[in-house]
Amino acid sequence: MRIPIIAGNWKMNKTTSETRAFCPEFIKLIDNVKGVEIVIAPPFTALSAAGDAIRDTIIKLSAQNIFWEEKGAYTGEISPLMLKEIGCGYCIIGHSERRQYFGETDDTVNKKIKTALNYEITPVFCIGEILKEREENRTMAVIGRQLKGGLRDLLESDISRIVIAYEPVWAIGTGKTATPQQAQEAHRFIRDFIRKKAGDKAADGIRILYGGSVTPENIKDLMAQDDIDGALVGGASLKPDSFAAIVRFS
Ligand code: PGA
């Protein structure tokens, strides 16, 4: 049994005070929810405030990025040690916006995944094709390459500690969700890839989240697919009521 994960990626949204306002409201709305892991990923500056606000609840804390060194002369970066100390159990790695705007590659993503695992932070490893690649029928080739690069040199035991997020780039922030069938097809491909690389146990246990314009309206059909184990939610995670509605539908 794979426990589903609903994770909210706030991206560059919410100040510390906005975070402090969001949390108690959201906590009230998800009271009594069981059988789902709930994760929020505020920006770095709000992590501490969010951590305080969700203490003693079932909500877990995630960062949106990580650097691979523990400390040193790396202006502007945040280390795994810093994230660990403020209670981050998860970290989003290789989000398409980081690949698109900040030059992240399969190589840097691989380093970051290894780092997170070393510090017992669960990587939420993001992959997905751009529109042109889908139109040219290259979706599986692209996500295959991203999986191969991102998971390079990882042991089977490491792979089963990872969460994968399939996020077709053309569906992110566009209101254009992948159909449940399109998402299922990609998720099945990903699970088969893991089966070949790391065996049945890892493949059957690994959680694969869908991301890209997830809303309270479409979550149910997505979650009904065999290989969809949760969602990485951007826009709809910014309001307590819509995020809680997604959590409840999962
Ligand atoms: P979206 O973002 O839900 O706003 O499309 C998802 C994501 O980028 O993780």
pLDDT block averages, 10 residues each, the chain of length 250: 96 98 98 95 98 97 98 98 97 98 98 98 98 97 98 95 97 92 98 97 97 97 98 98 94
Atom of ligand 1 nearest to the CA of 213: 5
Atom of ligand 1 nearest to the CA of 211: 6
Q: Count the neighbouring beta carbons within 10 Å of the beta carbon of residue 62.
A: 26
Q: Select from 5, 99, 233 the residue to mutate for testing ligand 1; criterion: most ligand atoms less than 8 Å from CB.
A: 233
Ligand 1 is surrounded, with C-beta below 6 A, by 9, 167, 172-173, 211-214, 232-236
Backbone angles phi, psi at 60, to 5 degrees: -110, 160
Q: Provide the pLDDT for residue 180.
A: 97
Q: Provide the pLDDT for residue 1.
A: 85
The residue whose C-alpha atom lies closest to atom 6 belonging to ligand 1 is: 234
The residue whose C-alpha atom lies closest to atom 2 belonging to ligand 1 is: 234
Distance, CA 169 to ligand 1 centroid (Å)?
Answer: 9
Distance, CA 105 to ligand 1 centroid (Å)?
Answer: 20
24, 56 Cβ separation under 8 angstroms: no
Residues 6+ apart with CB under 8 A from 170: 129, 130, 131, 134, 176, 212
Distance, CA 172 to ligand 1 centroid (Å)?
Answer: 5
SS (H, E, C) the chain: CCCCEEEEECCCCCCHHHHHHHHHHHHHHCCCCCCCEEEEECCHHHHHHHHHHHCCCCEEEEECCCCCCCCCCCCCCCCHHHHHHCCCCEEEECCHHHHHHCCCCHHHHHHHHHHHHHCCCEEEEEECCCHHHHHCCCHHHHHHHHHHHHCCCCCHHHHCCCEEEECCHHHCCCCCCCCHHHHHHHHHHHHHHHHHHHCHHHHHHCEEEEECCCCCCCHHHHHCCCCCCEEEECHHHCCHHHHHHHHHHC
The residue whose C-alpha atom lies closest to atom 7 belonging to ligand 1 is: 234
Q: Count the neighbouring beta carbons within 10 Å of the beta carbon of residue 12.
A: 7
Atom of ligand 1 nearest to the CA of 165: 9
For the annotated catalytic residues, the residue numbers are: 95, 167
Distance, CA 158 to ligand 1 centroid (Å)?
Answer: 26
Residue 58 to residue 244: CA distance in whole angstroms: 13
Q: Select from 10, 172, 239 the residue to mutate for testing ligand 1; criterion: most ligand atoms less than 8 Å from CB.
A: 172
